[in-house]
Structure 1
Amino acid sequence: MTDPIAEAVSMLKPSLSISKLVTGASRWLVERTELGSPFYCAIVEGRCLMTIAGREPMTLAAGDFVLVPKIFSFTMSSMEPPPRGALAQRLETSPGVFHLGEPEAPAEVKALVGHCTFGSDDKALLVSLLPEVVHVHGEERLLALVRMINEETRADRAAREIVLQRLLEVLLIDALRSAASAKAPPGLLRGMADPLLAPTLRRIHADPARSMTVETLARDAAMSRSTFFDRFRKEIGVAPMEYATAWRMSLAKEFLREGTPMADIAQRVGYGSTSAFSVAFHRHVGMPPGAYSRAITAA
C-alpha cells in the first residue's frame, strides 16, 4: 500500500544545493538570519549548540542528526559562544571543508552540513505536514547517508545528480520515520504513528479517486463520525476532507505538469466530471486548471 511519508517527500522534489564539512575550535558562532533553504546537520565529533528562532537552545553531540524542513533563522555555536555580534573566523581549508574559530586551534567539533531546495509548487502544503524540527540521536544510517551525500558532491561520477537526488530522498524519509511517534507535533508523522488513523491516511493516498466523505472515512476507521473527525483534526492538524482535497489537488498539479488530459485527471483524483474538477481546482488553487497548465508551461 502507498506510504504517505514517502509520497510527500517525493512530491517535494528535493535537490541538494550545498554540502560541506565544518569543523570548529575555540569560541565561534555562525548565524543565519536570511530566509534560506531547508537544512540538515550530522554531528560527527564533539558538541555544539544550535538555537532556532523561537526555540530553546539544543545541545548537539556526536551521533545527533537535525533536519529543519521549514525555513527559520538559527545560530550554531561552540558550547561557550563568543559575545553577541562577534563574527566567527571562517576559513575554507579545502573545497567544501570549512574551519570556524581559531585557525590554528585543533578541531573540537566536526559536522556534516547540507542545504537543499524543494522544487514542488505545493511545498508550503507538504512542509506544513512535517515537523518544524527533527532531532534524532544514534541513528547510524542517517550519518552514513549524510557521509555518502558529502562524498558524492565531491566526486565527478556519472549520473551524479540522479544519485544525489535519490540519496537526499532516502535521507529525508529515514529522518522522518526515525522521528515518527505520538510525541511528534500534529501532522503526517503523528498521524502515521496513530494505529487508527494510519490506515486512513494510506487509503487516501493509495486511492484518491474513491468517493470520500467524513462518514465513509470514519466507517472505514471503525469510529463514529464525531470521534473520527476530532481525532483526525487533533493528530493531523487539519480536518479529514481538507487533507483529502489538498492531497488530490497536489496530485492534480503533478498530472497537469505531465500533460495528462483533463478528463483523466478529474477521474484519477475523484471528480465525476471535468467541470466539477475545474471548479474544485479553481477554488483551491486560485486559478482554473487550464490557466495553471499554461503558467507552468510558460515558466
Structure 2
Amino acid sequence: MEIVRIVDPLAQIIALLQPSASFTKIVTATCPWAVRPPNMGPFYAAVLEGDLELRVRDHAPVQLRSGDFVLLPASDDLEVTSIIPPPGRRAMDPAEITPGVFHLGGPGVPTTRMMIGYCAFEADDAALLVSLLPRLVVVRGERRLTMLVELAGDEARAERPGRDAVLARLLEVLLIEAFRSAGDTSPAPGLLRGLADERLAAALRRIHGEPRRPWTVGELAQEAALSRSTFFDRFRREVGVAPMEYLAGWRMALAKDLLSKDRASVGEIAERVGYSSQSTFSVAFARHVGASPTAYARSRMTARDPASLVPQSPSSS
C-alpha cells in the first residue's frame, strides 16, 4: 500500500524563505499626509486606528481602515497616504517623537495609527519563492494578525535571550496566517490561487510531499482527478507556470537549500530531489543557477565562513 506524505506547501515555502526581522515601529499621522517607504524588503502593516490609502505600482489603490492588515513580499514602488492626500501627493519624512514611534503630518491630533515592519528573506533563492506568492495581500478585520504584529514589535524591542529565534518563528506564523487568511481572494496567479483550487491543491501537495518521485503531467492530473489537458491548462492559469516548470523550480529550491546546509554528497542530493543521476542533476542545476552544485555549495560555505578559504598550517587543528 502506498504511503502518501501530506505536506503544507505554503508552510514549506515560508520556512525555506527564512524570514528574519529588520525592524518594527509605530507610526501616527495627522491629515493630510503622504509617505513613500524605502524599498527595504518585505513590508507589512497593521492599521490600529483611522484609515489610509495604499498604492503599489501596477495595482489599483487600496483603502485600509482600522483592523486591516497588508503584506507586500516585495515592497518596491510603494506609496501610503491619508484618504485625502496633501497637494501634489508630496511625500514627507517621518519624525521620530519617542524611541520607536514616528509621526507624519502636522502637529494636530493624530487621525491614524499603525504598526509597520520590515523583514528580510535570508534564502538564497528568495526571488523564486516570492514569485510563487501574491504581490499584495490585504486581510480585513483579522485580530489575530494585529496581535502577531504587536508580539513581533514587542519582541523586536526587547533584549531577551533567544530574541532572534523567537522573532523568526513569529514572522513565519505571521506570514502563513496572512497568506492563508487571504485565501482565494488573491487576484494574481500563484501558489495561493493553486491551493484555493481543491483539485490543483491535491497535485501541489503531492509535488511538495514527494519531490523525488518521477512525476509526469498525466500522473499529477490523476492526483487532481482531471484530464491531462484540463489539468495542464488549469494549473498554468491558476499557478502561473506549467506543472513541470513548477516541479523543476521547486526541486531547484530544495536542492539549493540542501547544498547550503547539508553535508550530503551531490549524488545523494540529486536523488533526494528527484533526479535519476548526478550528471542529469548537475546539468539542470547549472542551467537554472548558473553554477555547478559543487561550486554553489562552496560559495555558500564561504559566505557563512570566509575563513574556510584560508589554508591551515600543518600545526593547526
What's the TM-score, normalizing by structure 2? 0.90
Amino acid at match of 2:128: L
Query: What is the CA–CA distance in structure 2 between the aligned matches of 1:85 and 1:232, rounded to whole Å?
Result: 41
1:250-265, aligned counterparts within 5 Å?
250-258=253-261, 259-265=263-269
Matched residue, 1:118? 121
Amino acid at match of 1:47: D
1:71-86, aligned counterparts within 5 Å?
71-84=75-88, 86=90
Deviation at 1:106, TM superposition (A): 1.3
Query: What is the CA–CA distance in structure 2 between the aligned matches of 1:24 and 1:285, rounded to whole Å?
Result: 45
Query: What is the CA–CA distance in structure 1 between the aligned matches of 2:255 and 2:152, rounded to whole Å?
Result: 32
Amino acid at match of 1:139: E
Deviation at 1:157, TM superposition (A): 1.0
Matched residue, 2:63? 59
Query: What is the CA–CA distance in structure 2 between the aligned matches of 1:208 and 1:238, rounded to whole Å?
Result: 17
Query: What is the CA–CA distance in structure 2 between the aligned matches of 1:57 and 1:240, rounded to whole Å?
Result: 32
Q: Equivalent of 2:32, from 18, 27, 33?
A: 27
Q: Does 1:138 align with 2:132?
A: no
3-state secondary structure, aligned to 2:97: strand
Deviation at 1:26, TM superposition (A): 2.8
Q: Does 1:9 align with 2:18?
A: no
Query: What is the CA–CA distance in structure 2 between the aligned matches of 1:4 and 1:30, rounded to whole Å?
Result: 35
Query: C-alpha deviations, 1:268-291, integer Å up to 9, x for none?
Result: 111122112112211222221011
Distance 1:270-1:99 versus aligned 2 partners, 3 A rule: same
Amino acid at match of 2:111: E
3-state secondary structure, aligned to 1:180: helix
Query: C-alpha deviations, 1:110-168, integer Å up to 9, x for none?
Result: 00000111111111111111111001101110000001011111212110111111101
Matched residue, 1:157? 160
Matched residue, 2:172? 169
Query: What is the CA–CA distance in structure 2 between the aligned matches of 1:183 and 1:17, rounded to whole Å?
Result: 26
Matched residue, 2:242? 239
Q: Which runs of 5+ in 1 are unaligned?
A: none
Deviation at 1:253, TM superposition (A): 0.7
Amino acid at match of 1:43: V
Query: What is the CA–CA distance in structure 2 between the aligned matches of 1:183 and 1:12, rounded to whole Å?
Result: 20
Query: How many correspondences in the alignment?
Result: 297
Query: C-alpha deviations, 1:35-92, integer Å up to 9, x for none?
Result: 4311001000011111112322221100110001123211111222112264536321
Amino acid at match of 1:5: L
CA contact (8 A) 2:191 2:239 kept: yes
Q: Which runs of 5+ in 2 are unaligned?
A: 1-5, 304-317
Matched residue, 2:183? 180
What's the TM-score, normalizing by structure 1? 0.95
CA contact (8 A) 1:182 1:194 kept: no
Query: What is the CA–CA distance in structure 2 between the aligned matches of 1:188 and 1:16, rounded to whole Å?
Result: 24
Matched residue, 1:204? 207
CA RMSD of aligned residues (A): 1.4
Query: What is the CA–CA distance in structure 1 between the aligned matches of 2:128 and 2:29, rounded to whole Å?
Result: 36
